[in-house]
């Protein structure tokens, strides 16, 4: 596998203190995943499960009270861990190697400045072109995205939501980055515009050959765009596989619920909801975080968190009920440590 991004044992919590009461929101807990070159890795899960926190963490866009407490993040275009880069190296990396398309493009387009200024601020320093040549290149890029160069003279509020999102895609792709991170980029748009914007993202990703992490809670969008899917629940990754396999044959009880609740044309049978609500990440349940809502919960589920375990090529699941191969995470970690120690001993003999 030609890896573009490797995330290992990532932990990122919000650490707050109100009137002397310390609070820890465990939004990203022990996430390990890899993204291949040129693939689109989708992340799904219900609201507040930690998707955007994960995105902020891998984009090196963390601000207090969010803190990275452990783990590693390695991109193929960096010779070090992301968090070993200084501010200057991060600035050099952004837009050129790693760019973001977020929900509501106003996050990157300054509302009081014309669009051309955003291109000048973010893209120009990386392209090393004289001003007039730079804007010729930007106009050619806008043209490829079927956008009129007149958008450069507009203020963001003068453009429709769909048009602003297309401008944000143009800005995120003009430097042809190796990696693009997209967090709910089409969520605020109506269905017709959403389709158009998704097609544009796919077209750009294919043309540039970038790798992408694409976050949306909408599985129908993933069905159209993501090669693989990671399902998050309460700050953890609970299942991973090809989008096709996960949609056809979900294994984790939470994924099964997500897929069973998708609307289907002509199906008028009432959908059964899950009992209970997602847990507070400030005080998550012991063991498997899904146990208070899981119809299959057993004693062990309340006691120990299940390891996200490879059960078939390209398929990982964290659920005791799915396979006897799934062990408590602490036992799996101890077994890995012991195997490592055995290997080093054999090497020294």
Ligand X SMILES: Nc1ncnc2c1ncn2[C@@H]1O[C@H](COP(=O)(O)OP(=O)(O)OP(=O)(O)O)[C@@H](O)[C@H]1O
Q: Which residues bind ligand X (CB under 6 A)?
A: 14, 16, 25, 27, 45, 47-53, 65, 217, 281
Binding residue for Mg ion, selected from 32, 34, 52, 242, defined by CB under 5 A: 52
| Distance, CA of 240 to CA of 75 (rounded, Å) | 20
In the complex, least distance from residue 314 CB atom to ligand SF4, rounded to whole angstroms: 20
By CB under 6 A, the residues from 301 to 330 that bind ligand SF4 are 301, 306, 319-321
| Distance, CA of 119 to CA of 179 (rounded, Å) | 19
Cβ atoms 209, 38 nearer than 8 A: yes
> Which residue's CB is nearer to ligand SF4, number 169 or number 294?
294
- Which one of Mg ion, ligand X, ligand SF4, none interacts with residue 27, CB within 5 to 8 A by kind? ligand X
| Distance, CA of 347 to CA of 156 (rounded, Å) | 62
Q: At what angle do helices 161-173 and 115-122 cross, to 10 degrees?
A: 20
For every residue of 241-273, DSSP letters joined together read EEHHHHHHS--SHHHHHHHHTS--TT--SPPPP
> Which residue's CB is nearer to ligand SF4, number 296 or number 310?
296
Cβ atoms 102, 164 nearer than 8 A: no
> Which residue's CB is nearer to ligand X, number 81 or number 218?
218
> Which residue's CB is nearer to ligand X, number 95 or number 233?
233
- Which one of ligand X, ligand SF4, Mg ion, none interacts with residue 234, CB within 5 to 8 A by kind? none
Specify the 3-state DSSP secondary structure of 129: coil
In the complex, least distance from residue 227 CB atom to ligand SF4, rounded to whole angstroms: 25
Cβ atoms 31, 54 nearer than 8 A: yes
> What is the contact surface with ligand SF4 in residues (CB under 6 A)?
252-253, 288, 290-291, 294, 296-298, 301, 306, 319-321
Q: Which residues contribute to the site for Mg ion (CB under 5 A)?
A: 51-52
């Amino acid at each position: 596998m030609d890896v573009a991004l490797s995330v290992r044992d990532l932990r990122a919590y919000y650490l707050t203190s109100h009137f002397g009461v310390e609070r820890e929101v465990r939004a990203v807990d022990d996430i390990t995943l890899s993204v291949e070159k040129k693939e689109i890795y989708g992340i799904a899960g219900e609201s507040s499960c930690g998707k955007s926190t994960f995105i902020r963490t891998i984009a090196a866009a963390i601000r207090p009270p969010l803190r990275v407490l452990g783990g590693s993040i390695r991109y193929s275009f960096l010779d070090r861990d992301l968090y070993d880069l200084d501010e200057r190296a991060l600035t050099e990396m952004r837009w050129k190697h790693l760019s973001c398309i977020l929900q509501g493009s106003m996050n990157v387009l300054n509302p009081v400045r014309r669009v051309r200024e955003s291109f000048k601020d973010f893209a120009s320093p990386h392209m090393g072109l004289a001003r007039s040549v730079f804007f010729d290149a930007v106009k050619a890029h806008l043209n490829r995205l079927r956008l009129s160069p007149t958008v450069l003279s507009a203020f963001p509020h003068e453009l429709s939501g769909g048009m602003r999102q297309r401008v944000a895609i143009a800005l995120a792709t003009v430097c042809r980055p190796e990696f693009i991170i997209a967090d709910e980029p089409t969520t605020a748009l109506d269905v017709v515009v959403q389709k158009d914007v998704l097609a544009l993202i796919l077209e750009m990703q294919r043309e540039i050959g970038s790798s992408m992490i694409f976050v949306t809670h909408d599985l129908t969008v993933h069905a159209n765009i993501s090669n693989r899917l990671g399902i998050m629940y309460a700050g953890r990754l609970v299942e991973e596989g090809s989008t096709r396999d996960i949609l056809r044959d979900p294994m984790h009880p939470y994924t099964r619920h997500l897929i069973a609740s998708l609307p289907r044309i002509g199906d008028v049978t009432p959908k059964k909801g899950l009992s209970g609500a997602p847990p507070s990440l400030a005080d998550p349940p012991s063991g498997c975080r899904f146990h208070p809502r899981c119809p299959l919960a057993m004693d062990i589920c309340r006691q120990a968190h299940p390891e996200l375990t490879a059960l078939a090529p390209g398929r990982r699941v964290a659920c005791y009920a799915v396979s006897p191969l799934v062990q408590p995470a602490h036992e799996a970690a101890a077994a890995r440590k012991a195997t490592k120690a055995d290997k080093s001993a054999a090497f020294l003999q």
